[in-house]
A and B are shown apart, each in its own frame.
Chain A
Amino acid sequence: MIDATDWRPSASPETLRRRAALLADVRAFFAERGVVEVETPSLAAAGVTDVHLDGLGVNYDGPGAPPSGRLWLQTSPEYAMKRLLAAGMGAIYQVARAFRAGERGARHNPEFTLLEWYRPGLDHEDLMAEVAELAARIAGPRPVRRHAYAALFRTHLGLDPLTAAADEVRECVAAAVPGTTVAGLDRDDGLDLLFGARIAPVLGQDAFDFVTDFPASQAALARLSPRDPRVAERFELFIDGLEIANGFHELTNAAEQRRRFEADREHRVAAGQPVPLIDERLLAALEAGLPDCAGVALGLDRLFMVALGATRIDGVIAFPVERA
């Protein structure tokens, strides 16, 4: 549908000028710390196997095309940046466009800006401190608090997410999120819904709230904790109820990473979803040796929403998908 006014940006020119100044400050933050800016492809031969991330494919049969004749718009620059780490780049960051199919709402646009950085020699604890410093610089200082994922569930919902059976999780969903059809909900889906509906909204009010020790089933590309293998060395930052950043003490074991990718693919087969190929170049890089490091992906649009007082992502980007 053509609307006579939709040629205009959804964010005001004044807001976009302030956004540009904040972006310059982000770059200054990393320059001061000797973290090098890199650029990696938006279009690559492999996508992600992640169960809950759907990539957007682009037909390409020009020179250099992969055998599939298809390239994938990257859902994050993670794999390419890890290849740079394995090649010895040292500390790096990127301000990257990321693309995710089907994600649109007040806090989502299918094309958005990720700030991703990696710190060889640091673990997730050190990196959390650096994430808090950046957040304070861009959005103003707030007290930093930490919460274990399981402790939040026990406090807000009286549920132990590490030990509860799938049925208990579904019962909790039925009671805490009325109007949900729980039949097709698996254990992690239920935990995601409870977290998103009942816990995230209360986090980050007048604080930077870090959530740590995610369940091992949600480890993604993080190491499992040596203290307690039921949890992963993964953290997230919440501000004003918004999920701002997701970080890992990175898994460097290629065999373990391949097992997780295969498990993702099996989950996708069972769910009747498309099954992307595994990124063999990433696994080859891990086999060659990824330095011990921590990395984090931060939704820059959302951090700017906090800094600029916007309640919708449309308030900080020029042209959301409906006007693109």
Chain B
Amino acid sequence: MASFSTNQFKSGLKIMLDGDPYAIVDNEFVKPGKGQAFNRVKVRNLKTGKVIDRTFKSGDTVEAADVMETEMQYLYSDGEFWYFMDPETFEQHAANEAAVGDAAKWLKEQDVCNITLYNGEPLSVEAPPHVQLKVVQTDPGLRGDTSSGGSKPATLETGAVVQVPLFIEEGEVLKVDTRNGAYISRAKE
């Protein structure tokens, strides 16, 4: 099993602690001039998101976590699992609800997502930053009002509800930022 020395510690490094995968959030090197050196780190549990403090004697080694980020294409969901395909190997992976989390409401078939794999299993799914989704329900806007700042809710084909300008109509395709759920523009054909 691969391992890392504290000398290789940096933000983002994935390590195993107490049987769980963690990512280093912050790494502080502490050493009195004449004394023992330590690395005091903040690490995020990749399963629970919880951040904890750990202190290592400098020079100690820790096991590397078999965690990798990869892009996969979203295929479909059967309600219990969300299925993704590796575009190079055509291998399919099933992600459970905990892994998909908030990304679920943005996922449209064939979109390419960033997936974090832990021991080959999806640990978390990140929706593409920008998605194009069709409006399936919104109240009619006021005719002629194309510029004022008003907004109204619109339900998209994946079930997500976003605030859109008053001139948007049902059936239109919108570009949305999944990171903050904000409307960006009408999709250009």
Chain A residues at the B interface, C-beta cutoff of 8 Å: 50, 52-53, 102-108, 177-181, 184-185, 188-189, 192-193, 195-197, 200, 218, 220, 236, 243, 246, 297, 299
Contact = CB atoms under 8 A, between A and B. Distances in A.
B34 A218 contact: yes
B52 to A, nearest CB: 6
B47 interface: no
Contact of A105 (B29, B33, B53): B29
B123 to A, nearest CB: 22
Contact of A177 (B31, B33, B52, B55): B55
A89 to B, nearest CB: 24
8 contacts: A50-B34, A52-B35, A52-B36, A102-B59, A103-B31, A104-B29, A179-B53, A197-B55
A200 B34 CA distance: 14
Interface in B103-150: none
B76 interface: no
Contact of A192 (B29, B35, B53, B59): B35
A181 B54 CA distance: 8
B108 to A, nearest CB: 36
Interface in B13-36: 28-36
B35 A196 contact: yes
A218 B33 CA distance: 11
A290 B181 CA distance: 73
A188 B54 CA distance: 19
Given A102-B59, A178-B53, A179-B54, A189 B36 contact: yes
B125 to A, nearest CB: 28
B55 A192 contact: no
B186 interface: no
A233 to B, nearest CB: 14
A195 B37 CA distance: 12
Contacts of B57: 184-185, 189
Contacts of A246: 33-34
Given A52-B36, A193-B55, A195-B35, 19 more contacts: A52-B31, A52-B37, A53-B34, A102-B7, A105-B30, A105-B31, A177-B55, A180-B55, A181-B56, A188-B35, A188-B36, A189-B35, A189-B36, A189-B57, A192-B35, A192-B36, A193-B36, A197-B30, A197-B55
Contacts, number: 72
Nearest to A297: B33
Contacts of B59: 102
Nearest to B42: A179
Nearest to A245: B33
B40 interface: yes
B58 interface: yes
Contacts of B32: 192, 195-196, 200, 243
B30 to A, nearest CB: 5
A72 to B, nearest CB: 18
A152 to B, nearest CB: 13
B38 interface: yes
A177 B35 CA distance: 17
A125 B42 CA distance: 40
Contact of B30 (A102, A196, A297): A196
Nearest to A195: B32
A218 B35 contact: yes
A218 B35 CA distance: 8
Contacts of A299: 33
B28 A106 contact: yes
Given A52-B36, A218-B34, A108 B55 contact: no
A196 B40 CA distance: 11
Given A50-B34, A52-B36, A246-B33, A102 B55 contact: no
Contacts of A105: 28-31
A193 B33 CA distance: 12
Contact of A103 (B37, B40, B52, B54): B37
Of B33, B35, B37, chain A has the most CB atoms within 10 Å of the CB of: B33
Contacts of A185: 57
Nearest to A273: B59
A241 B87 CA distance: 52
A193 B30 CA distance: 8
